[in-house]
Amino acid sequence: MHKHFSLLTAVVLVIGLTTIMESRAMGNEPLLDARQQSIVTISAFTTIGDIARLKSALHQGLDAGLTVNEIKEVLVQMYAYAGFPRSLGGIWAFMGVLDERKAQGIHDEIGRDASPIPVDLDRDAYGERVRADLAGLKEIPSTKAPYQEFSPIIDTFLKEHLFADIFARDILTHQERELATIACLASLGRAEGPLSFHIHAAMNTGLSEGQLHDVIKVLRDRVGTQEAQAADDVLAGVLAERD
């Protein structure tokens, strides 16, 4: 009887653990914290240009513990992927939200500024190293991709501006920047190639499969089914590649 009981207990524990793991893999258990979820929604609504819902997401982000400077950094990064008009629209919306909260007597934490970037930083080398790290490469590729050969200047802008000037600003971690970028590209539409790169990059910064499923859940529940499906389709391909 005791042996049967022990075996039954073990089976129940295994089934329970399997169910939990499957639930996490399917994104049914929230694995992103409130700050991370707010980065997703702020990035998505900025990209879409839905100011009304963006303002709500900004309020939620501040209430979740994002500092004013962290949110500003998310909005600034959006110009690299969604363009200046969307980024500036988000910044104007944020200014309005802060005025509203100040009038209500709410004092939000400003947060720290970015650390100074060394004046002698080799931005080309730094950006190339960051891009390789995000791609999961230990060595800088010796051969250039076709787009780099075709348009060397875009490669320079990517290395020196995006992956150096922007990613070197330490208000946000690289992982948080990847989270914002995934939400932006999923909301932008028809950006499967860059979205695939940045989902890989997000996992290379330590975001789990469950957390990425949770990104899709946040998009589906709070943003829209189209944006969620775009991310879900690409994530499936990324996971198949990594397996």
pTM, 2 dp: 0.87
Answer yes or no: is 50 within a domain: no
Q: Are 77 and 181 in contact (CB under 8 A)?
A: yes
Nearest to 50 by CA among 202, 227, 175: 227
Answer yes or no: is 180 within a domain: no
Answer yes or no: is 23 within a domain: no
User: pLDDT per residue over 202-230, tens digit each?
Assistant: 999 999 999 999 999 999 999 999 999 99
Count structural domains, the chain. 1
Q: How many angstroms separate the Cα of 23 from the Cα of each of 31, 144, 179, 227? A: 11, 41, 21, 22
Answer yes or no: is 212 within a domain: no
Q: How many CB atoms lie within 10 A of CB 160?
A: 18
Answer yes or no: is 162 within a domain: yes
Q: Average pLDDT, whole number, for the chain?
A: 91
Answer yes or no: is 157 within a domain: yes
Element holding 184 (H helix, E strand)? helix 174-188
Residue 222: DSSP 8-state: I
Domain that holds residue 137: 118-168
- The C-alpha torsion from 141 through 146 and 151 to 152, rounded to 10°, is 20
The per-residue pLDDT for 212 is: 98
User: pLDDT per residue over 58-77, tens digit each?
Assistant: 999 999 999 999 999 999 99
